[in-house]
Amino acid sequence: MTRIETITSAQNARIKELISLQEKSRARREKGLFVVEGRRELSHCLQAGFKARSLFVCPEILGRDEYRELKEIGCPISEIPAFLYEKVAYRGGTEGVIGVMECRSNTLADLHLKENPLVIVLESVEKPGNLGAVLRSADAAGADAVIVCDPLTDLYNPNLIRSSIGGIFTVPVAAATSQDTINWLKERNIRILTAQLQDSLPYYDTDMKCGTAIVMGTEATGLTQVWRQAADAHIMIPMLGRLDSLNVSVSAAILLYEAVRQRQTK
């Protein structure tokens, strides 16, 4: 039977822990826990096999049928009133449910790819919102994995989860160093295409039908030399205006869907 308790004070120890997990990456790392808000995001998280440690539910917001389904998860539930939910929710409109979930490993060894995979590699992309948007595009294009190299962001950052609308759970994600990722890709004969303006061919003139890793860096500094040297080909998106770069998530979407187009017409 699901254990249910009622919490009405912001000074409750479990509420303080919840806020700490939302706000501090160190707390998430030390406790091996992270926070998911909203029915859609929680559903994606559970479907991906993550285990719920506990749930915080606002019965005033959550529908009766949805609450009944949450009770079937089997983890402890804390009921909180609307005024308290508004204080602890990371964002508005999250439908009255917050889950505390157990982290799991995100290494290259955890990735299991099909034949001729399509992979996105991001080097030092520091903004959670950008990474989340790339994950949405990766999910939409059916990419097999997203690898974050030398990550400057926490993969369980609440803003990343929010901006990906749960894509962090629907697309296999790994974090690794650039050199380890290069070695891993080459061992699997996955072609490395680096997105860069210098010494490059237009992306639509480059074969993406074989196993392909599309590698992108930050808008400010681009890719480091280690990736440029490891590349099998350099690709670019023609810039016809006065500006010389696109947002990394926009670039990712363009390149991913070129790979989709090529693979559908091969």
CATH (domain of 96): 3.30.1330.30
Ordered strands of the 191-195 beta sheet: 173-176, 145-149, 118-123, 212-216, 191-195, 233-236, 201-202
Assess contact for 192 and 231: CB atoms under 8 A: yes
Averaged pLDDT of the chain: 92
Q: Are residues 32 and 123 in the same domain?
A: no
Q: Are residues 57 and 136 in the same domain?
A: no
Given a cut of 70, is residue 28 above it in pLDDT? yes
Q: What is the pLDDT of residue 142?
A: 96
Q: Are residues 146 and 198 in the same domain?
A: yes
Question: 147 falls in which pLDDT band (50, 70, 90)?
Answer: very high
Look at residues 67, 102, 137 and tell me which one is the last residue of a structural domain.
102
Sole residue written with tokens 């629907």: 170
CATH (domain of 198): 3.40.1280.10
Supply the pTM of this predicted model: 0.90
Question: 97 falls in which pLDDT band (50, 70, 90)?
Answer: very high
Q: What is the pLDDT of residue 25?
A: 92
Q: Are residues 9 and 59 in the same domain?
A: yes
Given a cut of 90, is residue 94 above it in pLDDT? no
What is the pLDDT averaged over residues 234-262? 91
Q: What is the pLDDT of residue 1?
A: 66
Residue 26 belongs to what domain range? Answer: 4-102
Element spanning 147, H or E: strand 145-149
Q: Are residues 98 and 195 in the same domain?
A: no
Given a cut of 80, is residue 180 above it in pLDDT? yes
Q: Are residues 151 and 249 in the same domain?
A: yes
Domain count along the chain: 2
Q: Are residues 165 and 213 in the same domain?
A: yes
Q: Are residues 92 and 146 in the same domain?
A: no
Q: How far apart are CA 89 and CA 163, in angstroms?
A: 15
Q: Are residues 80 and 113 in the same domain?
A: no
